[in-house]
């Protein structure tokens, strides 16, 4: 399920050992051990990430950047160190190309607004794909409407793969930016983003990569991809809520107008003339999410320690196991059967409503997600109201997949 | 049966079950008893908002009483609709509008249902009460 | 220092007892007990707020709103309960008038952008005051520039009080919105926002109140104020970083276009037509800051438990004590001597640079802030490069003020 | 004194002090020895960016050597500037450009200074080295 990925040879992780560091994985739901298969919505947190937050608030909570006092210096140093960690993690050439955001959605909105206001004119267009999350659709719809521009869409085939042949026609001279997800949160499809970037760059069109479902599963090297903008969320990569990252090439970020105004993003303010700050602060107005950036840094350390290549290998095997196991269920059909897939598996069973199935699974302690997963257009493509989605993380086990399959079988009996 | 009697009966039925599985099977079974809405009434207007699954509800006014038919694309939802319809269908608008609905709380359904479901259930009750109020004022105006 | 405030009679708090719940207040800096007088930058957190975050991540971390499973339901319920708590705390008529933001800066930017795009035209103006924080200046400068509108400023006298006589002239027919701070973070001035709102409303002009420095010190009743928009930050009111509140009157919020696009803020999405969600979700795109909202709710509970009226009384006495104590220092002059003041005290001593003074205080374990405090225009008004600012919270003590005064005297000897 | 010798001397001086207070008083004292910049050179161009307080720095090129004068509106900053100037002033552009500056780290200043100060100090060093490189290439071009 990863033919065209360049995978560093990873080794299988000792999952049982790693699970021990996740407090929530030790809990029960309705008296049954929690089987958490909703990792695409958000991942659970290892103890050290939680401890980083507790430690910050208990030992050195302070506002950053402008303080002379000890706590402020300590908080500032930790906050900025996280930026270095993230930069190293994604191999950003410059630390100041890492902008802290509230999450993927925030990052996309920043670019949609700042890029759109500067570069989009009537008749221009933005190119997205048919399998995007609402967060990578609506911001573009909004700015396109504002500027009189058009939203164009890379179509998808019935396996859930982008129809790459259409790309050359779509990438016409009206296109000012391509925004595409690396991994689909609904279908699990891993898009050939490197190829998309190459082909867009041939026509000098910049590309934004929504890596919300990639950065925790796949080695992400912004230089190797040559991506112009990359966005992702802390809470989906074992970090806290309320924090995300926008990577942008220095040249682009310097050219774009700032997004929000306020403290920190300015060099000097007067009622007559206000000068904006340099990167990264130009895009970080107001008090940052300090506890969150620090804890995100710890999550990145954690991922570096266990190794993304190893995570990728471990998850790849579990994914294949899950697909095989689910195939044993009568009437089950997968929604999304792309050649390259990761993390998320969507399916339906006969005419059972996903909501019913999800509810009966829940009562057995199994957490999956049901519905459109914030990707309504792809539901419309398949003409379905929603799917049941199981999404894995490296800490999931084959036993948990077995429980999922048994749980589904039990639910099907009840619901048929 | 009065609205109160029907509620008490549902509460009694539920007390028989210890297991969540049995409760769900009972609910699903109730769904199968739901008086079916005619296809022509499955319109967008008759869809109740606030449910993750779709619910259509239709009211007929007959001999001073309101009768409800309904459907849902999800079987658990259908069971819940069925309970509400069983409790309230066949009563006068005034009885329905004035009814004190306590069975949901008594059987602890709200604790078991997802907030999405609870909201759906509340939306459903609200819709039925609105029908009742509408017919009541219509009756008064005559 | 609060002549025109309607103060519910509060009683003095048992500060020593309350301090015990703040882990950071038990720590030392350079071997000396921490004297934390930088509360206007950010407040410290009581244990229960920290525990709320730990509890969330350890027991029921999950994405909210769309999940059927137990964890998601529990997280959703807790997240939405916080909204109820905040609504009750500020006496909002409707719970859905409470929008969760990233902080005060985010809240102001939302209104500046959404209000500005809809209502600002060339030649219109926005009225702010001379003592605003950059976060309540720059967003308005940006949208004014975008729309060809003007920024007008309520002037200030040398005590740091707004010159209210100028208001009638300033509130001409070009003014589309007034944005004013409740309490100045630099001077401590408590502005007569109720009167400003009344006078603006007489001309049907809406008012945004920056309550970043008010909500933790003063009973805030949005209905009594009749404010159209009110913004504040969680981290300044004993809650976590990364979270804030935008209160807006339902009628206004319904009329404004959404700010960011993405998950949660839509009702339905297709490439042809996207329908926005109802309040509050219309303004909350993407995964919310879940741990943060839940912990903010706990901070609000905490404030309700100890009572804002009691906080106000306790701080009022400490403030007066501090002003008197600082007066004993030779060469000290206050920057800001408004009749009504709260929390922040700014001063300078002879020609000692604030940065030097702050550094020598820091070495004695005393945390104050130095510089322009993100209010450069008021520095320009007073023609100074910055101030030393001590800002108090209810947990500060008279002994700490004594230490501050002794510390300053020692520093002055060294630096003169 | 060579650049190295002067650095070693500062390090030795600092080792005498146990107390932070004494260290600061030493720094403040050094500030008073700083060769004063002439008022005419206190221009915006000569302000070093990256300091919370203002620092003006001016270079004179005399007999193949660079001499620095400076000032600051904050006395601790002035002391820091003074140290840097004492170490580097009166040397050839090449010596300055090639100099390995280790005294800041050795006396643990970076641990004591706020990041704002450290950044300021680094900005100052950078500025001086830039002057040196500029004069060096000027010299080479002749
Ligand atoms: C009066 C005032 N407004 C706005 C802000 C900005 O708040 P935040 O940085 O939390 O967005 C602050 C805090 O620094 C403030 O004191
Ligand atoms: C592919 C993709 N893009 C964007 C998002 C939005 O992320 P967030 O809600 O953290 O802003 C998600 C997560 O739901 C996602 O899966």
Mean of all residue pLDDT scores within chain C: 96
Query: In C, residues 76-95, which contact B (CB 8 Å cutoff)?
Result: 76-77, 80
Between B and C, how many residue pairs show a Cβ–Cβ distance under 8 A? Answer: 12
Mutation choice for ligand 1 from C41, C102, C135, CB with most ligand atoms inside 8 A: C135
Spatial distance between the Cα atoms of C122 and B67, rounded to a whole number of angstroms: 59
C374 in active site: yes
User: What per-residue string of b and e applies to B83-115 under the rule 16 or more CB within 10 Å gives b?
Assistant: bbbbbbbbbbbebbbebebebbeebebeebbbb
Please indicate whether, in this complex, the C-beta atoms of B24 and A363 are within 8 angstroms of each other. yes
Q: What is the pTM of this model?
A: 0.95
Show the domains of chain B with their CATH numbers: 3-140 (3.90.1010.10)
Place of tokens 């082909």: A199
Burial of B138 (0-12, 13-18, 19+ CB in 10 A): exposed
Give the domain ranges of chain C.
Answer: 2-33+307-415, 50-304
Q: Is residue D71 over pLDDT 70? A: yes
Q: How far is the CA of A370 from the centre of ligand 2 (A)?
A: 16
- For A355, the closest of B21, B24, B53 (CB atoms) is B53
Report pLDDT digits (tens) over C69-125: 999 999 999 999 999 999 999 999 999 999 999 999 999 999 999 999 999 999 999
Q: How far is the CA of A210 from the centre of ligand 2 (A)?
A: 8
Q: How far is the CA of C150 from the centre of ligand 2 (A)?
A: 38
Which range is least confidently modeled, A278-282, B17-21, B86-90, C386-390?
A: B17-21
Mean of all residue pLDDT scores within chain D: 87
Q: Is residue A5 over pLDDT 80? A: no
Higher pLDDT pick, D49 / C283 = C283
How far is residue A182 CA from its own chain's centroid?
9
Q: Report the 10 Å Cβ neighbour count for D19.
A: 9
Please indicate whether, in this complex, the C-beta atoms of B76 and A359 are within 8 angstroms of each other. yes
Q: How confident is the model at residue D142 (pLDDT cuts 50, 70, 90)?
A: low
Please indicate whether, in this complex, the C-beta atoms of B117 and A359 are within 8 angstroms of each other. yes
Q: What is the pLDDT of residue B121?
A: 82
Q: Is residue C26 over pLDDT 90? A: yes
Q: Closest approach of chain B CAs to the CA of C144, in angstroms?
A: 40
| Region A247-263 average pLDDT | 97
Q: What is the pLDDT of residue A68?
A: 85
Please indicate whether, in this complex, the C-beta atoms of A270 and C377 are within 8 angstroms of each other. yes
Place of tokens 């164009």: A152
Residues of B in Cβ contact (< 8 Å) with C73: 114-115
Q: Is C150 on the interface with B (CB under 8 A)?
A: no
Q: Among A331, A415, A359, which residue's Cα sits nearest to residue B75?
A: A415
Q: How confident is the model at residue D114 (pLDDT cuts 50, 70, 90)?
A: low
Please indicate whether, in this complex, the C-beta atoms of D76 and C363 are within 8 angstroms of each other. no
Q: Is residue C408 over pLDDT 50? A: yes
For A8, the 3-state DSSP assignment is: coil
User: Percent helix, strand and coil across chain D, each rounded to 5?
Assistant: 60, 15, 25
Q: What is the pLDDT of residue C182?
A: 98
Q: Say if residues A280 and A100 touch (Cβ distance below 8 Å).
A: yes
Which range is least confidently modeled, A177-181, A287-291, B21-25, B89-93?
A: B21-25
- Catalytic member of B3, B27, B48, B51: B51
Name the closest ligand to CA C289: 2
Q: What percent of chain C has pLDDT over 90?
A: 95
- For A369, the closest of C67, C135, C361 (CB atoms) is C67
Report pLDDT digits (tens) over C214-224: 999 999 999 99
Q: Is C70 on the interface with D (CB under 8 A)?
A: no
| Region D106-122 average pLDDT | 74
Q: Closest approach of chain C CAs to the CA of B112, in angstroms?
A: 9
Q: How far is the CA of C119 from the centre of ligand 1 (A)?
A: 25
Q: Say if residues D31 and D75 touch (Cβ distance below 8 Å).
A: yes
Query: In A, residues 351-370, which contact B (CB 8 Å cutoff)?
Result: 352-353, 355-356, 359-360, 362-363, 370
CA of A106, closest atom in ligand 2? 11
Quick one: closest CA in C to A285, which residue? C105
- For A76, the closest of D52, D115, D117 (CB atoms) is D115
Q: How confident is the model at residue B127 (pLDDT cuts 50, 70, 90)?
A: confident
Q: What is the pLDDT of residue C106?
A: 98
Q: Chains near D, with 3+ CB pairs < 8 A?
A: A, C
Task: Tell whether omega for the bond before A326 is within 30 degrees of 0, i.e. cis.
Answer: no
Secondary-structure class of domain A50-304 per CATH: alpha beta
Kind and range of the H or E element at C10?
none
ipTM of the prediction greater than 0.90, yes or no: yes
Q: Chains near A, with 3+ CB pairs < 8 A?
A: B, C, D
| A207-210 and A175-181 strand pairing | parallel
Report pLDDT digits (tens) over A264-278: 899 899 999 999 999
Q: Say if residues A298 and A52 touch (Cβ distance below 8 Å).
A: yes
Q: Among B68, B70, B75, which residue's Cα sits nearest to residue B31?
A: B75
| Region A174-195 average pLDDT | 98
Q: What is the pLDDT of residue C8?
A: 55
Name the closest ligand to CA A132: 2
- Catalytic member of A374, A376, A385, A402: A374
- Catalytic member of D10, D34, D48, D51: D51
Q: What is the pLDDT of residue D119?
A: 75
Q: How far is the CA of C60 from the centre of ligand 1 (A)?
A: 31
Q: How confident is the model at residue A66 (pLDDT cuts 50, 70, 90)?
A: confident
Spatial distance between the Cα atoms of A171 and A167, rounded to a whole number of angstroms: 6
Spatial distance between the Cα atoms of B117 and A52, rounded to a whole number of angstroms: 37
Chains D and B: 3 or more CB pairs within 8 Å of each other: no
Residues of B in Cβ contact (< 8 Å) with C74: none
Q: Among A55, A54, A52, which residue's Cα sits nearest to residue A85?
A: A52
- For A355, the closest of B25, B28, B74 (CB atoms) is B74
Whose C-alpha lies nearest to ligand 2, atom 12?
Answer: A212
Residues of A in Cβ contact (< 8 Å) with B53: 353, 355-356, 385
Q: What is the pLDDT of residue C4?
A: 46
Residue C114: CB within 6 Å of ligand 1? no
Which range is least confidently modeled, A171-175, A355-359, C318-322, C391-395?
A: A355-359
Residue to mutate among C348, C353, C372, with most D CBs inside 10 A, is C353
Q: Is residue D52 over pLDDT 80? A: no
CATH 3.30.70.20 fits C2-33+307-415, yes or no: no
Q: Say if residues C399 and C325 touch (Cβ distance below 8 Å).
A: no
User: Percent helix, strand and coil across chain C, each rounded to 5?
Assistant: 45, 20, 40
Length of chain A measured in residues: 416
- For B52, the closest of A362, A371, A415 (CB atoms) is A371
Q: Is residue C156 over pLDDT 80? A: yes
| A332-335 and A344-349 strand pairing | antiparallel
Whose C-alpha lies nearest to ligand 2, atom 16?
Answer: A185
Q: Chains near C, with 3+ CB pairs < 8 A?
A: A, B, D
List pocket residues of ligand 2, CB cut-off 6 Å: A 40, 103-105, 133, 135-136, 181, 185, 210, 212-213, 233, 374; C 263, 286-287
Q: Say if residues C291 and A240 touch (Cβ distance below 8 Å).
A: yes
Residue C39: CB within 6 Å of ligand 1? no
Q: Say if residues A183 and A343 touch (Cβ distance below 8 Å).
A: yes
Quick one: closest CA in C to B117, which residue? C68
Q: What is the pLDDT of residue A190?
A: 98
Whose C-alpha lies nearest to ligand 2, atom 14?
Answer: A41
Spatial distance between the Cα atoms of A374 and D120, rounded to a whole number of angstroms: 48
Q: What percent of chain C has pLDDT over 70?
A: 98
Residue C135: CB within 6 Å of ligand 1? yes
CA of C40, closest atom in ligand 1? 16
Longest pairwise C-alpha distance within chain D:
51
| Region B45-68 average pLDDT | 86
Q: How confident is the model at residue A4 (pLDDT cuts 50, 70, 90)?
A: very low
- The top-scoring range by mean pLDDT among C168-177, D46-55, D116-125 is C168-177
Name the closest ligand to CA C63: 2
Between A and C, how many residue pairs show a Cβ–Cβ distance under 8 A? Answer: 308
Q: How far is the CA of C241 from the centre of ligand 1 (A)?
A: 12
């Amino acid at each position: 399920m990863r033919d065209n990925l360049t995978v560093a040879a990873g080794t299988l992780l000792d999952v049982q050992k790693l699970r021990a560091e996740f407090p929530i994985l030790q809990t029960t739901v309705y008296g049954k051990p929690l089987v958490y298969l909703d990792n695409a919505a958000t991942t659970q947190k290892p103890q050290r990430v939680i401890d980083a937050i507790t430690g910050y608030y208990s030992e050195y909570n302070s506002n950053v950047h402008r303080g002379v006092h000890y706590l402020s210096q300590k908080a500032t140093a930790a906050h900025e160190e996280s930026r270095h960690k993230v930069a190293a993690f994604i191999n950003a050439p410059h630390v100041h190309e890492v902008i802290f955001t509230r999450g993927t959605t925030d990052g996309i909105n920043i670019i949609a607004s700042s890029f759109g206001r500067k570069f989009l004119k009537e008749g221009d267009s933005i190119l997205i794909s048919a399998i995007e999350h609402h967060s990578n659709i609506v911001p573009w719809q909004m700015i396109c409407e504002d500027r009189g521009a058009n939203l164009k869409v890379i179509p998808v085939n019935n396996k859930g793969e982008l129809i790459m042949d259409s790309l050359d026609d779509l990438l016409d001279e009206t296109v000012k930016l391509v925004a595409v997800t690396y991994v689909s949160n609904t279908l699990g499809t891993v898009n050939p983003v490197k190829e998309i970037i190459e082909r867009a760059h041939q026509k000098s069109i910049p590309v934004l990569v929504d890596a919300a479902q990639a950065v925790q599963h796949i080695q992400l090297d912004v230089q190797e991809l040559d991506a112009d903008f990359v966005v992702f969320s802390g809470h989906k990569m074992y970090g806290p809520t309320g924090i995300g990252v926008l990577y942008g090439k220095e040249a682009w970020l310097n050219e774009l107008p700032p997004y929000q105004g306020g403290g920190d993003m300015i060099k000097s303010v007067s009622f007559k003339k206000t000068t904006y700050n340099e990167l990264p602060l130009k895009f970080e107005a107001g008090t940052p999410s300090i506890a969150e950036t620090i804890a995100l840094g710890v999550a990145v350390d954690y991922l570096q320690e266990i190794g993304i290549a190893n995570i990728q290998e471990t998850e790849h095997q579990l994914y294949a196991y899950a697909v095989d196991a689910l195939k044993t269920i009568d009437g089950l059909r997968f929604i999304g059967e792309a050649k390259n897939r990761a993390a998320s598996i969507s399916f339906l069973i006969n005419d059972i409503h996903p909501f019913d199935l999800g509810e009966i699974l829940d009562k057995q302690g199994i957490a999956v997600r049901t519905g459109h997963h914030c990707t309504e257009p792809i539901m419309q493509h398949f003409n379905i109201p929603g799917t049941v989605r199981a999404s894995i993380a490296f800490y999931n086990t084959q036993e948990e997949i077995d429980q999922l399959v048994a749980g589904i079988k039990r639910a099907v009996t009840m619901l048929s | 049966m009065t609205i109160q009697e029907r509620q008490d009966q549902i509460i009694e039925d539920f007390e028989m079950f210890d297991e969540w599985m049995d409760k769900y099977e009972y609910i699903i079974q109730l769904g199968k008893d739901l008086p079916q809405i005619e296809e022509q009434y499955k319109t967008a207007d008759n869809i109740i908002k606030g449910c993750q699954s779709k619910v259509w509800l239709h009211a007929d006014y007959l001999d001073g009483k309101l009768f409800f038919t309904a459907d849902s694309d999800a079987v658990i939802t259908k069971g819940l609709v069925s309970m509400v319809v069983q409790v309230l269908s066949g009563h006068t608008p005034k009885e329905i509008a004035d009814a004190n609905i306590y069975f949901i709380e008594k059987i602890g359904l709200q604790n078991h249902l997802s907030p999405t479901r609870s909201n759906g259930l509340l939306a459903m009750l609200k819709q039925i009460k609105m029908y009742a109020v509408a017919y009541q004022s219509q009756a008064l105006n005559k």
